[in-house]
Amino acid sequence: MTNSGIIHKGWFSEVCPMWEGIAVSLKVDELLYSKKSRFQQIDLYQTLSHGRMLVLDGIIQLTERDEFSYQEMMAHLPLFSHPHPENILVIGGGDGGVLREINRHKDVRFIDFCEIDEEVINVSKRFLPSIACGFDDPRVTVHINDGAAFVREHPGCYDVIIVDSSDPVGPGEVLFENQFYQDLKYALKPGGLIATQGESFFLHPDWVEKLMGITRSLFPIYAYANIIVPTYTGGHICVCMGSLGPKLRAPARSVPEVLQSQLKYYSSEVHRAAFVLPYFAEKMLKGKGI
């Protein structure tokens, strides 16, 4: 499967076989960076209306205008679901945005960060400093490694594991398999939980049903949350969550006032609301099809 971003008359259009027949287009002013790394094509654009935009293999990863919605929810949904998260693992997310949000939690003791493609980190630090500032925290240890291999080597280590993966093509494909989710479970401490990028129940229900089925089979508590991200195809993306103890659909702790003042999207109310799914998606979550 190949993906491509099409440039036509100053417009970038995301075209991917995973969501055939639909595309997101943004007007671009300038291509700031373009290079094929060992793993994928990396492009960085200056857009007319959405600031800078990171694109991997033709698929939009973020724009500066709306990146906060994904980053905040991927970090704060799992961290506020856990009563006392100290040891954190993040797999993927080389832009550093999820790290930026985790760093706001003062009780977190250390954060292992595993990214397979170091060039994504380098490009983000160069062109997206307000996002890549997540790497600056001394609690963060960066590991340039395959996430699936890394997690197998750390059983029983983490309170929370966040998988900020790309779509299930190229280097991210293995992160959507049953074995990987089993390894995530065994890398958790007692009472730990996971949060993974869960695709869109509108655009790829087959993948969502697969992830829901895997999570349901491994974790006693599981849930799916919805995030609005306008520049992702379909306008939204989901978070797949599995827990060995903590409940997920409501925060285990209140949001400190100082932290809340730093956020744009996440709140305790949004946490609860994110798990309210359309009826057809709720049926998928329970394994009843659509």
Q: Is 81 annotated as a binding residue?
A: no
The one catalytic residue in 57, 112, 117, 164 is 164
The answer to whether 244 and 220 are in contact (CB under 8 A) is yes
The answer to whether 215 and 181 are in contact (CB under 8 A) is yes
Cα 162 → chain centroid? 7
For 252, phi then psi, to 5°, come to -80, -20
Burial classification of residue 289, based on how many CB atoms lie within 10 Å of its CB (0-12 exposed, 13-18 middle, 19 or more buried): exposed
Q: Is 146 annotated as a binding residue?
A: yes
43 catalytic residue (yes or no):
no
Angle between helix 178-186 and helix 205-218 axes, rounded to 10 deg: 40
Instruction: Report the Cα–Cα distance between both ends of the chain, in Å, rounded.
Output: 26
Q: Is 166 annotated as a binding residue?
A: yes
The answer to whether 167 and 135 are in contact (CB under 8 A) is no
Please name the residues in contact with 169: beta carbons below 8 A apart, sequence gap of 6 or more.
1, 3, 16, 18, 57
The answer to whether 12 and 6 are in contact (CB under 8 A) is yes
Q: Is 117 annotated as a binding residue?
A: no
Q: Active-site residue numbers?
A: 164
For the annotated binding site, the residues are 40, 95, 115, 146-147, 164-167, 171
For the annotated binding site for S-methyl-5'-thioadenosine, the residues are 40, 115, 146-147, 171
For the annotated binding site for spermidine, the residues are 95, 164-167
